Amino acid sequence: MNLHSTPLARIHERLGATLVPFAGWQMPVRFTSDIAEHHAVRTAVGIFDLSHMAQLEVSGPDSPVVLDRSLVVVSSALRVGKAKYSLITDDEGRVLDDLIVYRLAPEEYLVIANAANRERVAGALTERSAGSQAQVVDHTVSRAMVALQGPKAADVLAGLCDADLGSLRYYAITPASVAGVPALVARTGYTGEDGFEIIVPASSAEEVWEALASAGPASPLPCGLAARDTLRLEAGMPLYGHELTEDVSPWEAGLGRVVNLDHEFIGRPALARMAATPPLRSLVGLVGEGRRAARAGSPVLRDGEEIGVVTSGALSPTLGVPIALALVAAAHAEAGAVLDVDVRGRPQAMSVTPLPFYRRPA
């Protein structure tokens, strides 16, 4: 299979990153140590290459109408410079992807979708804009995305960016210059920490990465996909293909609050029926003891009967205990319930706990 390389591939190779195939891309899974990279983001700052994420521009006079019809949120109500987490569904209400939509101008939006779903989201948006005064342009290959995540992210970026970061709120975006390069700077991320996602032309990616990575005094530690996964898991954030699939409804995944049924969109009738019926399954957080971590696919048991499955699991680097997200029968989803997880053929007791597992200090 031919894999895409990000504009930062040469830097990753020079740094000795372990590269793996991921969603059609050759991506760094780690640079040094999963644990060290995880802790850097929790305590200082890490830098990530997110250039594999889909970058889809929807623009034109009808772009607000097209996105209202395409997504479960009301994109036309977004103010310029703001962003919103959303889902895109099909006629049957099945989730095709979760994504973030940013409003860059009155008639211009940026949709950031998962790399694995780039073609299906781009195809759906293109189909849904047919016959309208809106166009969909895929900028994924022509642009790069670099993320700074951690409590010192703003300190690192401030010395290289001409935007007022103090006034840039969570889930907001602004045009700016970063290391002298025209960029879009968003205060978003998928780690549970403060941070920024910086979009620049692919041709300038190395220049921007090098400037950010060498910024002092808290120079960011290069981080890979493994740390990003444990960080998002601790923060209780779903990952498409694990907590969200076409077979998992927004209400089962705990995302019913995202769906705005007060506007017309593709999949609304099916989702309205789902909303009217209590879900049979619920996504829960599980916390155990010891060092044995459950993994995706591990059965969840109650009194020896299988009542669910783990969707993501790891030994939490921050908390030092096994944590997992699991889809379980709603009758067994109450906080405090003790369930057994089959970890490599042996039962591991884990307790249902409210999400997120970790919340950054105020």
Q: pLDDT > 90: what percent of the chain?
A: 97
Give the chain's domain count. 3
> Is there a single domain that holds both residue 147 and residue 40?
yes
Query: Tell me: the pLDDT tens digits for 110-133?
Result: 999 999 999 999 999 999 999 999
- Segment 164-182 shows an average pLDDT of 98
Q: Are residues 195 and 94 in the same domain?
A: no
Tens of pLDDT, residues 145-162: 999 999 999 999 999 999
pLDDT value at 1 more than 80? no
Q: Which whole number is the average pLDDT over 4-32? A: 98
Asked whether residue 148 falls in the same domain as residue 222, the answer is yes
Considering the domain boundaries, does residue 81 fall inside one? yes
Residue 90's domain is classified under what CATH number? 3.30.70.1400
Please name which of 254, 249, 232, 253 lies closest in space to residue 313, comparing C-alpha atoms.
232
Instruction: Report whether pLDDT(218) > 90.
Output: no
pLDDT for residue 362: 79
- pLDDT at residue 217 is higher than 90: no
Give me the DSSP letters along 166-223.
Answer: GG--TTBEEEEEETTEEEEEE---SSSS-EEEEEEEGGGHHHHHHHHHT-SSSPPEE-
Angstrom distance (rounded) from CA 194 to CA 154: 8
Q: What is the CATH number of the domain that holds 342?
A: 2.40.30.110
Looking at the structure, do residues 38 and 152 belong to the same domain, yes or no?
Answer: yes
Q: Which two tokens stand for residue 326?
A: 């699991």
What mean pLDDT is reported for the chain? 97
Residue 43: band (very low, low, confident or very high) from pLDDT cuts 50, 70, 90: very high
Residues 308 and 173 in one domain: no
Instruction: Report the pLDDT averaged over residues 39-64.
Output: 98
Domain range for 58 is 54-138
Last residue of a domain, one of 234, 269, 292: 234
> In terms of domains, do 90 and 128 share one?
yes
Q: Is the pLDDT of residue 200 over 90?
A: yes
Instruction: Indicate whether 157 and 299 sit together in one domain.
Output: no
Considering the chain, what percentage of its residues have pLDDT values greater than 70? 100
Query: Which residues on neighbouring strands pair with residue 113, listed in sequence order?
Result: 54, 99
Reported as a pLDDT band with limits 50, 70 and 90, residue 216 is: confident
Query: Given the DSSP bridges, would you call strands 83-89 and 181-186 parallel, antiparallel or unpaired?
Result: unpaired
Reported as a single tens digit per residue, the pLDDT across 323-332 is 999 999 999 9
Nearest to 140 by CA among 107, 116, 159, 160: 116
